[in-house]
């Protein structure tokens, strides 16, 4: 009975902590349904749209880089509560900004929460989970990330179908306040990390918590002894700093896995999925619907990955995911190359539609003429359905649209099974107790700064070099990831955290 209660506490606490990942995923994907509205409301061009989408990402960089300080000083639980409050403020502020600057500010605030959650949620779970279930429980964060992405896509699709007019984009951002509030309330019943308590010499509190987590006093005493010994060994070498020669291998592993995660193009595609499908020839309605298929694929594959991650291991999943990345990105790049003339014509049509919308807002008498010009130059046939609200209709063969959809489904499946399932688990495992928060922060900082760069440059690069070159570039980076996984990445499955440094060759002498 004791063991059942212990398991229940670990699982419940891990699920609550991983809700930070759900908000992380929702916040990541929700803006994909609002980009055209934001472009119109705030009069944005390609560069300022990229800045607007990236505004939250600048916050994630700051959050990931600085969250280690409150995490180490005040504890994992209080820091998670602060992150939940930032999510709530951001959701409400993004729904009701008074100008473009205020919108950027509230998105930036939410980004701090996302960056912080990407560090603290998996770190907290790794510290309370038993080794044999750690991969599964830490991967709950990734499960909730993809669940949040799916919920955001579905929410955007439903709201778009309600025809709320000018308020539509506000609703898309505002609904995030509901899960943010629930996350904030649920955190108050979570325990603190016992390993953090040991680092603060609060031994008796840590022991009582270990009893609850592992189910017996004998097992708790053994666990406490191992953690104390590991921390004493770390302290024996002096004040621990992450950036030292001893940790050079871990630093490079963290930077590499985080960098490859974003060089796949995953977040750029998630942010601009409707835009990509519009370029491929889908109607407005289908361009909002297709991302829900992408999100559902991600959700299903991630569920499979977290079930098998402790069985197959992190490295095997990364190998499978890398191969899938290369094949899928190559397919999408090839389709955009084969139908380059049709895609270029589609871009011109979309530009004309955007210009017509701008004229509509500025001068009513010109509206009819502008729309008439666009409609006159556009074929009547569309892929999937006719869309009276969208005068831009594609001449691209159906194989172009459906081929891009299949390619992106394989791409997102590869991500969910490989990088998506492994990155947060791997980062939470490889660093010792004394620098775990700093190491996790380093990996997340790398992840988010590249996310901001790739996502911010995606809209202008579409116009400068075209979609085919972009997807082939992403595929090239994934070839490098495959080689890194084969020859450099270590396996970390089912290794106790206190033994990990010995396995990785950095144990204290």
- pLDDT value at position 348? 66
Q: Which residues pair with residue 383 across a beta bridge?
A: 282
- pLDDT value at position 83? 94
Give the mean pLDDT per block of 10 residues along the chain (509 residues). Answer: 58 86 84 84 85 84 86 91 94 93 94 87 83 76 82 88 87 92 92 87 87 80 81 65 87 96 88 76 75 85 87 94 96 86 66 58 48 48 43 53 85 92 87 82 87 83 85 96 96 81 71
CA separation for the pair 385, 85 (Å, rounded):
42
Cα separation of the two ends of the chain? 41
The domain segmentation of the chain, as residue ranges, is 2-192+237-339+396-503
Strand ranges, E, within 185-256: none
Residue 3's CB is within 10 A of a number of other CB atoms, namely 11
Q: Whose structure tokens read 């990390």?
A: 193
- pLDDT value at position 7? 67
- CATH of span 2-192+237-339+396-503: 1.20.1250.20
| Environment class of 389 (CB within 10 Å of its CB; exposed 0-12, middle 13-18, buried 19+) | exposed
Residue 337's CB is within 10 A of a number of other CB atoms, namely 15
Q: Which of 280, 230, 503 is nearest to 382 (CA)?
A: 280
CA separation for the pair 400, 332 (Å, rounded):
9
What is this structure's pTM?
Answer: 0.69
- pLDDT value at position 234? 65
Q: Which of 444, 150, 173, 414 is nearest to 301 (CA)?
A: 414
């Amino acid at each position: 009975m004791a063991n059942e209660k212990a398991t229940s506490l670990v699982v419940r606490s891990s699920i609550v902590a991983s809700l930070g990942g759900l908000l992380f995923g929702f916040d990541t994907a929700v803006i994909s349904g609002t980009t055209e509205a934001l472009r119109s409301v705030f009069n944005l061009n390609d560069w300022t749209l990229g800045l607007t989408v990236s505004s939250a990402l600048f916050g994630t960089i700051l959050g990931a880089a600085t969250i280690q300080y409150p995490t180490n000083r005040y504890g994992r639980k209080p820091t998670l509560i602060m992150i939940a409050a930032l999510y709530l403020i951001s959701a409400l502020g993004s729904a009701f900004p008074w100008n473009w600057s205020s919108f950027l500010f509230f998105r930036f605030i939410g980004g701090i929460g996302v960056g912080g959650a990407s560090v603290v949620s998996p770190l907290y779970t790794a510290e309370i989970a038993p080794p044999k279930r750690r991969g599964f429980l830490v991967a709950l964060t990734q499960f909730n990330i993809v669940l949040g992405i799916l919920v955001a896509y579905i929410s955007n699709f439903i709201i778009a179908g309600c025809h709320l007019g000018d308020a539509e984009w506000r609703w898309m951002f505002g609904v995030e306040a509901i899960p943010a509030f629930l996350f904030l309330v649920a955190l108050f019943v979570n325990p603190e990390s016992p390993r953090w308590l040991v680092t603060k010499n609060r031994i008796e509190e840590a022991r009582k918590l270990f009893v609850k987590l592992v189910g017996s006093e004998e097992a708790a005493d053994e666990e406490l002894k191992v953690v104390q010994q590991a921390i004493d060994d770390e302290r024996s070498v002096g004040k621990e700093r992450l950036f030292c020669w001893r940790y050079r291998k871990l630093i490079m592993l963290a930077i590499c896995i985080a960098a490859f995660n974003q060089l796949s193009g995953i977040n750029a595609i998630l942010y601009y999925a409707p835009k990509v499908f519009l370029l491929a020839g889908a109607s407005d309605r289908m361009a909002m619907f297709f991302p829900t298929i992408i999100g559902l694929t991600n959700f299903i594959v991630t569920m499979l990955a977290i079930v098998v991650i402790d069985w197959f291991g992190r490295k095997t999943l990364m190998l499978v995911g890398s191969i899938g990345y290369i094949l899928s990105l190559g397919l999408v790049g090839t389709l955009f190359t084969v139908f380059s003339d049709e895609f270029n014509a589609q871009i011109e049509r979309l530009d004309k539609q955007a210009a017509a919308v701008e004229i509509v807002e500025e001068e009513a008498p010109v509206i009819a003429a502008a729309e008439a010009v666009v409609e006159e130059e556009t074929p009547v046939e569309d892929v999937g359905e006719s869309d009276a609200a969208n005068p831009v209709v594609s001449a691209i063969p159906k194989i172009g649209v459906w081929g891009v959809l299949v390619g992106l489904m394989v791409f997102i499946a590869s991500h969910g099974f490989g990088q998506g399932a492994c990155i947060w688990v791997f980062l939470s495992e490889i660093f010792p107790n004394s620098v775990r928060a700093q190491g996790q922060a380093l990996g997340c900082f790398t992840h988010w700064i590249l996310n901001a760069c790739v996502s911010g440059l995606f809209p202008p690069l579409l116009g400068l070099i075209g979609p085919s070159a972009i997807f082939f570039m992403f595929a090239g980076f994934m070839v490098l990831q495959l080689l890194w996984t084969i020859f450099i990445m270590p396996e970390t499955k089912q290794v106790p955290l206190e033994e990990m440094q010995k396995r990785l060759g950095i144990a204290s002498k």
